Structure 1
């Protein structure tokens, strides 16, 4: 594994095998059905992936930690005592062997977000059993596609803590038309410095109505509202179609640092810099810009797009964008504005002399051309083969703030009716958002192409923002058998029920 030379700056460069691979019957994510994965289907899919013969091994320890966010110390949980956790890096076809030592007082897991890996290593129950407190487990799988990925738990509200880290898969055949690489993780932060995720969730569940309206939490005569710091009080966003989120966080971070104590990335003027942007937040979309620079977007969720120049990009939770800039001469803030929340995170690109502007500086690029998914199209080598859909599956997103109940197709996860597919199909998921909130929808184990209103293929992704009252369709190939989660990547919406599963049936 490549080492980490410094926070915010990165170098360029056995027991589950028998479950699905042997054709075991897995309980589905519903109380009244089960599915049978065809015999050896997961092992067969793994055999079809590229294999380099190399193994990249590392160990991660999930434990309590005191983490310095830049003068503010948080009592939280993390991997190996750092936030973000250590970079895991491999090349296409390499086997990853990552041993997770769970030293927490609860179960945990590691979900490998965006990687089309074997189902029994996905890190989401029931495909992969959670890791008990005090136990160790080794995730072992090959990585089939180059790109920018990340990893985080799939247990309760732990995604809104310090348990996350970047995962980069390199393509040995990629020319690498850049001189330096900057891995940038965005986050909204409360654990250990504000209300705990559990307190926020309880506040959302127990404060019926009102707190989804900006400023309502502090109005007199409104009992139960504003009783939990952080609940409510967010604003609205045109780009998100209305309410920006449910939670106002004490801090917003880039690479584990608050805006008042930013990390720096040093280059020389004229160098081409590849910036890998990852939104590890739980309730916040970020509008990201680099002062004094244009961004050329080259990848969405790991897959190449036709290079497109913008001033800023909007990144929902779970999304990743790769951009390339040509460094100017000076000190330039990379600003991640918390969309609709009147706050921001920042880091510094340093290529010469100068002083950074104040921590609350908002570069004019944030008000320029903002790239969203509609602006991008998959590059020819990343596009899926043209094909007609064999099946179209409805995915209705529902719920609301009154009872804080979020559903897919009218049901919470505890009562979900799984979506069913067969191997070798071309499937269209038809999202219909009937709620008044936006939802970043993430599909495990697959990537899809986002379809335009007239049915043309657009960017290839695994996470897409579905705006209020919007209908949006995506298309993918069922080439990875198993039981796969489909859910909103807002941590609190997911916990409240907006998750179902995509089950392969024989």
Structure 2
């Protein structure tokens, strides 16, 4: 295998101004000093008769009111989440980003199987967009589903830079009356600290060792939480081990704090399609709608056999669609953070009639009922990959520790590990194993993968010490990222490149 041709410094910290030169040097390790450079990508052109959807976005500093608390942060426009980008499967999208931030940035279209030049990873697919510059992303959105977009520079996602992206299926008959998009987030920016400060404290002086070797780690040195303190039942009984590193002061649903929740109004008996997106950086949520069951219909854009559940776990970067039939009254929709001892929970209100709003700390009984682990869903036949033996099998070992705060894949942090290689047309099997005591949401760019059950996803929660064989078809030539979608783990090195060979 060949070393990844871009530096860890460029991708992890590209333009971030994250830390002192000493800390940056420690983070950079011994990676090669050469980086790719990119000109303006040749514009992709829509095919004759292909519909074109255009959108203009501006990333800029803003002040937001989160339940009476004023926070200075960054956002797309002046809303949280940012503007929805919506199109139909097969549409050609032309999205212009105007960067008015005091830093470089990009947009990554999370979950989309799009052309490599539009994937938004600085140093791998494009140069970062400088302050005051505009950049045009052009691509076809081939697959329907629930997606979102966010930067792929530093820890910018843990500010306010995220928004839904919905790709509709024009052939789908919607057996529901309304649709609600629900974006979950953990929030710390502008509350006396910033995500950059959080990462610096986690890394510490020399916390990210310059050594590329990850073998022989004392995984037992990683911090463990007292799961008993979280209460019994579904909300505290998941196999997620130590699930996060950051204690957040608040959790949001659709950019709203529990003290001023988003109110979703409908009529009793209506069927509602919920599109759930976890845009958080460090938090797995348990989601429940008080007084209701949910019928889960999709995960990461792919249809599943409908599954009736009381609640579901949703990891960072995951998306789920579910249908609920609403009762009469006022009901809490909660996003309970797993493993967090501060900050309460995310809350929205569903109102179909008269009634008193519940307390922000309400605990619906559904949290202690049948809680879905999404990887246990059953795919529809149409969502399965064709049966085929793998042409090549590679290992994907997730490694790291909390002290020192150092994460990596296959023996080293990104830039010190070797890129995975595949040839176009091959069926690739990745034997993934989580060799740590923390849960990691494993995310693949530009492709989807199949679990052993056939379930199709692009992001999957890997519990401590879990092994999982995932298959993908190498049908999208380019240089792609595989990484943990805990943003702090990724920025501390838990990424690896997937390179197509000639």
TM-score in terms of structure 2 length: 0.86
Give unmatched runs, 5+ long, in structure 2. 9-30, 208-219
Which position in structure 2 is the counterpart of 1:297? 296
The superposition leaves residues 196-235 of structure 1 with CA deviations (integer Å, 9 ceiling, x where unpaired) of 11221122122879883448xxxxxxxxxxxxxxxxx999
Shift in Å at residue 105 of structure 1?
1.5
Shift in Å at residue 374 of structure 1?
3.5
Which residue, out of 147, 151, 167, partners 1:149? 147
Which residue, out of 176, 180, 194, partners 1:196? 194
- Give the Cα separation in 2 of the matches to 1:206 and 1:469: 26
Aligned pairs (5 A) from 1:277-296: 277-296=276-295
- Give the Cα separation in 2 of the matches to 1:53 and 1:263: 37
The superposition leaves residues 344-392 of structure 1 with CA deviations (integer Å, 9 ceiling, x where unpaired) of 1010111111112100001010111111133201111111111111111
Q: Is the Cα contact below 8 Å between 1:35 and 1:505 reproduced in 2?
A: no
1:248 aligns with 2:260: no
Which position in structure 2 is the counterpart of 1:178? 176
Which position in structure 2 is the counterpart of 1:227? none
CA RMSD of aligned residues (A): 2.5
Which position in structure 2 is the counterpart of 1:266? 265
CA 1:161–1:33 in 2, change beyond 3 Å: closer, same or farther?
closer
Which position in structure 2 is the counterpart of 1:366? 367
Aligned residues: 452
- Give the Cα separation in 2 of the matches to 1:349 and 1:189: 22
Q: Secondary structure at the match of 2:200?
A: helix
Which position in structure 2 is the counterpart of 1:13? none
- Give the Cα separation in 2 of the matches to 1:327 and 1:461: 28
Q: Is the Cα contact below 8 Å between 2:92 and 2:138 reproduced in 1?
A: yes
Q: Is the Cα contact below 8 Å between 1:234 and 1:248 reproduced in 2?
A: no
Q: Is the Cα contact below 8 Å between 1:188 and 1:284 reproduced in 2?
A: yes
Which position in structure 2 is the counterpart of 1:60? 57
1:80 aligns with 2:77: yes
1:345 aligns with 2:346: yes
Shift in Å at residue 425 of structure 1?
0.8
Which position in structure 1 is the counterpart of 2:423? 422
- Give the Cα separation in 2 of the matches to 1:177 and 1:194: 46
Shift in Å at residue 458 of structure 1?
3.3
1:328 aligns with 2:327: yes
1:97 aligns with 2:97: no
Which position in structure 2 is the counterpart of 1:212? 223
- Give the Cα separation in 1 of the matches to 2:49 and 2:394: 36
Q: Is the Cα contact below 8 Å between 2:144 and 2:301 reproduced in 1?
A: yes
The superposition leaves residues 144-176 of structure 1 with CA deviations (integer Å, 9 ceiling, x where unpaired) of 000000000000110110000000000111001
Q: Is the Cα contact below 8 Å between 1:52 and 1:94 reproduced in 2?
A: no
Which position in structure 2 is the counterpart of 1:502? 498
Give unmatched runs, 5+ long, in structure 1. 1-25, 37-41, 216-232, 452-456
Q: Secondary structure at the match of 1:176?
A: coil
Which position in structure 2 is the counterpart of 1:408? 409
1:460 aligns with 2:456: yes
Shift in Å at residue 283 of structure 1?
0.5
Q: Secondary structure at the match of 1:258?
A: coil
Q: Secondary structure at the match of 1:374?
A: helix
- Give the Cα separation in 2 of the matches to 1:73 and 1:359: 19
Shift in Å at residue 240 of structure 1?
3.9
- Give the Cα separation in 1 of the matches to 2:50 and 2:457: 28
- Give the Cα separation in 1 of the matches to 2:484 and 2:7: 16
The superposition leaves residues 86-130 of structure 1 with CA deviations (integer Å, 9 ceiling, x where unpaired) of 111000111111100001121100000000000000011221221
Q: Secondary structure at the match of 1:120?
A: helix
Q: Is the Cα contact below 8 Å between 1:213 and 1:234 reproduced in 2?
A: no
CA 1:252–1:172 in 2, change beyond 3 Å: closer, same or farther?
same
Which position in structure 1 is the counterpart of 2:378? 377
The superposition leaves residues 384-429 of structure 1 with CA deviations (integer Å, 9 ceiling, x where unpaired) of 1111111111000101011110010011012121000000111111
Which position in structure 1 is the counterpart of 2:444? 443
CA 1:428–1:420 in 2, change beyond 3 Å: closer, same or farther?
same
CA 1:211–1:439 in 2, change beyond 3 Å: closer, same or farther?
closer
**Is 493-502 or 429-438 further displaced after alignment?**
429-438
TM-score in terms of structure 1 length: 0.85
CA 1:347–1:51 in 2, change beyond 3 Å: closer, same or farther?
farther
Shift in Å at residue 50 of structure 1?
8.8
Q: Secondary structure at the match of 1:458?
A: coil
Q: Is the Cα contact below 8 Å between 1:312 and 1:369 reproduced in 2?
A: yes
Q: Is the Cα contact below 8 Å between 1:100 and 1:138 reproduced in 2?
A: yes
**Is 89-98 or 190-199 further displaced after alignment?**
190-199
Shift in Å at residue 238 of structure 1?
3.9
- Give the Cα separation in 2 of the matches to 1:364 and 1:77: 36
- Give the Cα separation in 2 of the matches to 1:495 and 1:194: 21
Q: Is the Cα contact below 8 Å between 2:224 and 2:241 reproduced in 1?
A: no
- Give the Cα separation in 2 of the matches to 1:35 and 1:497: 17
- Give the Cα separation in 1 of the matches to 2:352 and 2:483: 41
CA 1:255–1:123 in 2, change beyond 3 Å: closer, same or farther?
same
